[in-house]
Chains A and B, each alone.
Chain A
Amino acid sequence: MDANHVPRGHGPPLASKPKKTAPTPLFFAAPPLCHSPVTQHGYDDPVGTRVTRSLADAVVPKLLFLCALSSVVATLAIAGLLGAEALGFVRTLGASGASGAAGARLATLVANTVVTTLVGVLVALPLGLVAAIYLSEFAGPRARRVFELGLDVLASLPTVVLGYLALALLGPAFAEKSALLSGVALGVMILPYFAARSEAAISAVPHNLREGAYALGASKLQAVNRIVLPAALGGIGAALLFAVARALGEVLILGIVTGHAPEGRWDAWVLEASSHLARASLSATIEGALSLVALAVVMAVPASVGAASWLEEYAPRGRIMSLVETVARKLAAAPPIVYGLLGLAIFVRVLGSGESALAGAAMLALLLLPRMTTAFREALRAVPGSLREACLALGADRLRTLREVVLPAAMPGLSRGALRSLARAAVETAPLACIGAIELSALPWKLLGAA
């Protein structure tokens, strides 16, 4: 494989470049068979380009590798920090006495969360599944386009916003705020995300499976029930888990960020946290958030493209590599607010109380890196291998294959990934700003410790 990196360098001597007056640039138009394949075309190939090209061939893969390394290291560092902080939190709880108020609170919190989650799943599972099946199997193309877009937009909203809406609308209908109300709110929160992911999972079932079912005389409903749904079961399960984890994670963290000690009921948190979020991000931070996000994206996009390119096009395939990859991928899927919060912690710790937009953006870019790299890798992977083969068969090296064909062909996927990450970044800046409104000394960790 290494041989593919070799730049062109064994062509004929440059002196044999034909005169510009040569009538035809094409080999087969010239009668005598010439043994030097390049000169007969009259290509313009000054020495300069050749030198820079071999230099680029040597340097660029290493640069791309550095990008990939930084992406993986960033992910691991974030996860490590999260683990360390969580451990510290649990220790604090233990020290303050297992029979103490904190322990009891934690127990009720856990119990409540379990009940709430069950109710939420009961609400979201049937609704989301029906929506997903309708969209992927029964909806016409136009309806599908409209609904999918709507679903995507809803799914990309921070779940707390949906939770706030649900609580505000449903609150009066329930006599008192109970686990049932929380559960329904949770169900609403996870519904769009769950439906969107399930729809993707169902759509991903190969078409010939459906055709196989129809060929055996199955009706549409039978095909869906017997063939398509079982085939998509894994994806649907994963969608449900991810949706719940995301909603719970975001709500809990926002609750902590806004300074509320864990109580037995978290529906109050959602209300409080999301209204706080709305206030903070609307009044004070639209401008700041915009510049922060723009700066972060400018920093994160090139690094992520580099990292994704190395991982997809250059990385050696091996067991260690795939292990690192799997870990990084799993970690990159954590709720974005976890990253936002941790980013702020690093930001404050490492940079002191420095509040320069540049430092903040650098931090945000670091947080964006793992997720964006994952998104870009998907986009690169979607470029058919036959195109790479076509390039190599035309005598291109890997770098040019990447630059001229793979990246342009992946462009729609890349820009979609970048936009999605950008939306995420905007969502993530909101809690950052939120805490920025609080005094910097009131760090989440202190809140956690005091709880």
Chain B
Amino acid sequence: MTSDHPPDSTPPVKMKAEDLRAWIDREEVIRGITLRIADKRVTALMGPSGCGKSPLLRCLNRMHEITPGSRVEGRVLLDGKDIYAKDTSPAEVRRRVGMIFKKPNPFPHMSVRDNILAGLRLNGLSAERPDELVERSLQKAALWDEVKGDLARPGTSLSRGQQQRLCIARALALGPEVLLLDEPTSALDPIATRRIEDVLHELRAELAVVIVTHNMQQAARVSDYTAFIHEGELIEFDRTDRIFTNPREQRTEDYVTGKFD
């Protein structure tokens, strides 16, 4: 399996998975993947349904182990330190590596403002200047202008797309170094999708972004690097333009040209 990092890429490596294997019950869903996540770039994980993109993503912030019957082997390095090391707490990892889910999941009993501050509260912390943090986080998620008039309304009163951006703002309020997104637009219409993609483009300047998508156009639009995953294996990993114009693997070419079955 080719997992060579493109030689012309200068950005430093933020995360690295090394010979990562993961199981759910007896099924091996990830079969030895080695992958480097560049800092301040968007990396897309692309592949057909059930290929192991989501478990791979969930391994990157130790959410995979929440799944009953799951098991992980191998190493995942964050700034060179193994997040699966014995003395590393999963909570700490998850604070540094934020995650957005398929369906927006704002906390229904909290206002927009409280949703943003929820991450701090859940960690038993308090913000020094909460109003500033709320505004900044919402602005980063391009939601500020839409909700600034009424921050006390329930988070669930927003539209689907707004809710998803609220979730992004909630994750950003903790100041993560990496943001993982698991098909964040699969429940959204094209316009809301576009807005999320714009947000990702902005965030790219500040942190490493990893996005799982089964949508090839989305991968082409938002990502700098693309990993093509099939049946738990990394088939090809390269700069996104090369993956789409000049893939080295036949299976990748079949997938991006729609001949895959």
Contacts and interface: CB of A to CB of B under 8 A. Distances in A.
Contacts of A32: none
A49 interface: yes
A393 B171 contact: yes
B205 to A, nearest CB: 8
A28 B127 contact: no
A26 to B, nearest CB: 5
Contacts of B39: 33
B103 A394 contact: no
Interface string A372-384: 0000000000001
Contacts of B129: 25
A314 to B, nearest CB: 14
Interface stretch (B93-101, B237-245, B247-255): B93-101
B123 A6 contact: no
A8 B177 contact: no
Interface in B68-119: 68, 79, 87-96, 98-99, 101, 103, 105, 107-110, 118-119
Interface in A23-75: 24-29, 33, 35, 37-38, 40-45, 49, 53
A306 B133 CA distance: 34
B87 A394 contact: no
Contacts of B123: 8, 394-396, 400
A3 interface: yes
A409 interface: yes
B92 A25 contact: no
A171 B117 CA distance: 65
A404 interface: yes
Interface string A136-172: 0000000000000000000000000000000000000
Given A1-B66, A43-B126, A396-B123, A390 B105 contact: yes
B194 to A, nearest CB: 22
Contact of B103 (A3, A45, A386, A401): A386
Contact of A27 (B121, B125, B177): B177
Contacts of A49: 124
B46 interface: no
Contacts of A286: none
B128 A25 contact: yes
A11 B123 CA distance: 12
B179 to A, nearest CB: 10
Contacts, number: 155
A393 B124 contact: no
Contacts of B66: 1, 4, 389, 392
Interface string B153-188: 000000000000001001111111100000000000
Nearest to B88: A10
Contacts of A7: 89, 91
B122 A400 contact: yes
B72 to A, nearest CB: 11
A312 interface: no
Contacts of A443: none
Contact of B108 (A35, A37, A409): A409
Interface in A380-425: 384, 386-387, 389-397, 400-401, 404-405, 408-409, 411
Interface residues of B, number: 56
A390 B177 CA distance: 17
A217 interface: no
B136 interface: yes
Contacts of A28: 140, 172, 175, 203, 206-207
B137 interface: yes
A410 to B, nearest CB: 9
A409 to B, nearest CB: 5
A6 B93 CA distance: 12
Given A395-B119, A404-B118, A405-B122, A26 B103 contact: no
Interface in A243-289: none
Contact of A390 (B68, B79, B167): B167
Nearest to B106: A390
Contact of B120 (A33, A43, A390, A391): A43
Interface of A: 1, 3-4, 6-11, 20, 24-29, 33, 35, 37-38, 40-45, 49, 53, 317, 384, 386-387, 389-397, 400-401, 404-405, 408-409, 411
Interface of B: 39, 61-63, 65-66, 68, 79, 87-96, 98-99, 101, 103, 105, 107-110, 118-129, 132-133, 136-137, 140, 167, 170-177, 203, 206-207
27 contacts: A3-B90, A10-B89, A24-B132, A25-B127, A25-B129, A28-B172, A28-B175, A28-B203, A33-B177, A38-B95, A40-B175, A42-B128, A53-B124, A317-B68, A387-B108, A391-B118, A391-B122, A393-B171, A394-B118, A394-B119, A395-B91, A395-B122, A400-B122, A405-B109, A405-B118, A409-B109, A411-B109
Given A10-B92, A394-B122, 18 more contacts: A3-B65, A3-B89, A6-B90, A8-B95, A25-B129, A26-B136, A26-B173, A35-B79, A37-B176, A38-B125, A43-B127, A45-B125, A49-B124, A387-B105, A393-B98, A404-B118, A404-B121, A409-B109
10 A-B pairs with least C-beta separation: A27-B175, A395-B95, A396-B122, A28-B206, A393-B99, A386-B105, A395-B94, A394-B119, A6-B89, A43-B125
